[in-house]
């Protein structure tokens, strides 16, 4: 349940006053129990399907970056009826093919820094992707039949066994090989050790600035036994939530969640 409560807590924290008109208790007069209803509903669905936590994170990422320019951002796959489709379970913040420079630029354009980038990509500690997304890294990385040399050799064998060259491309692959349902720091240890599943994740180790943050979270003492990442992830989520917020008469609030006004 740890992953769920962290996500729910972050949803509430994102309502804190980052810009005017953003605050906890916004619906206190129109719907007194709004926040409690959200929490209990997410709780009930998480009990049935723990992967919903990764799906909710991804939907929020795309909500915040919905007006981002450029073709590399993944298309949101959450549905208008509020359900999260299977393909959205991988909380991919950058495109799997993005270079570190491209990731940095996208975040910088939205007022986020290298620390925010690595911290938020750490959401890949939960969720999954699919074989078709990573197969090029396993069999044809350089268009000559070679695997991505940054993949740890023992992990490469595991991935190739999970995703055969001509196998089912929709087969799920955990983004965190050690604890895909736990919101912890094992993702950063995987990147440090060459066990990043997405190329964009592993490339965080190639850049001096992003590698510094990865090392900080991966270290037991420097990471304060995981507490540093927990705290800074929440802060980064709140910061991201302040991107181009629509307030006042900007935008609209749906009267019925499943229908456009």
- Point out the annotated binding site for heme b: 124
Termini Cα distance of the chain: 35
CA 252 – CA 244 distance, rounded (Å)? 14
Task: Answer positive or negative: Cα dihedral of 229, 127, 58, 260.
Answer: negative
Select which of 60, 62, 130, 212 is catalytic.
Answer: 62
CA 126 – CA 33 distance, rounded (Å)? 29
Q: Taking the mean position of all CA atoms in its chain, how far away is CA 51? A: 12
Residue 62 among the catalytic residues = yes
What interhelical angle do 227-240 and 208-218 show, nearest 10?
130
- Residues making up the annotated binding site are 94, 124-125, 176, 184
For the stretch 69-96, what's the b/e string if a residue is b when 16 or more beta carbons lie within 10 angstroms of its beta carbon?
eeebbbeebbeeeeebeeebbbbbbbbb
CA 148 – CA 134 distance, rounded (Å)? 10
Residues taking part in catalysis: 62
């Amino acid at each position: 349940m740890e992953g769920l409560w962290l996500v729910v807590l972050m949803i509430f924290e994102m309502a804190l006053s980052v810009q005017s008109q953003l605050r906890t208790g916004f619906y206190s007069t129109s719907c007194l129990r709004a926040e409690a209803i959200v929490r209990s509903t997410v709780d009930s669905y998480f009990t049935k399907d723990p992967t919903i936590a990764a799906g909710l994170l991804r939907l929020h990422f795309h909500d915040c970056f919905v007006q981002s320019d450029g073709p590399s951002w993944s298309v949101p796959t959450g549905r208008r009826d509020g359900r999260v489709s299977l393909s959205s379970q991988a909380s991919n913040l950058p495109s799997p093919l993005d270079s570190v420079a491209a990731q940095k630029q996208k975040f910088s354009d939205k007022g986020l820094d290298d620390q925010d980038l690595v911290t938020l990509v750490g959401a890949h500690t939960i969720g999954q992707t699919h074989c078709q997304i990573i197969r090029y890294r396993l069999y044809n990385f350089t268009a000559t039949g070679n695997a991505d040399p940054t993949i740890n050799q023992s992990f490469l064998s595991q991935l190739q066994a999970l995703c055969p060259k001509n196998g089912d491309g929709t087969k799920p692959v955990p983004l965190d090989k050690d604890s895909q349902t736990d919101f912890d720091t094992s993702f950063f240890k995987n990147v440090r050790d060459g066990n990043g599943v997405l190329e964009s994740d592993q490339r965080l180790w190639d850049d001096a600035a992003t590698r510094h943050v990865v090392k900080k979270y991966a270290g037991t003492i420097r990471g304060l036994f995981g507490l540093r990442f927990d705290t800074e992830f929440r802060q980064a989520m709140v910061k991201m939530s302040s991107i181009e917020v629509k307030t006042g008469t900007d935008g609209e609030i749906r009267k019925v969640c499943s229908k456009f006004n």
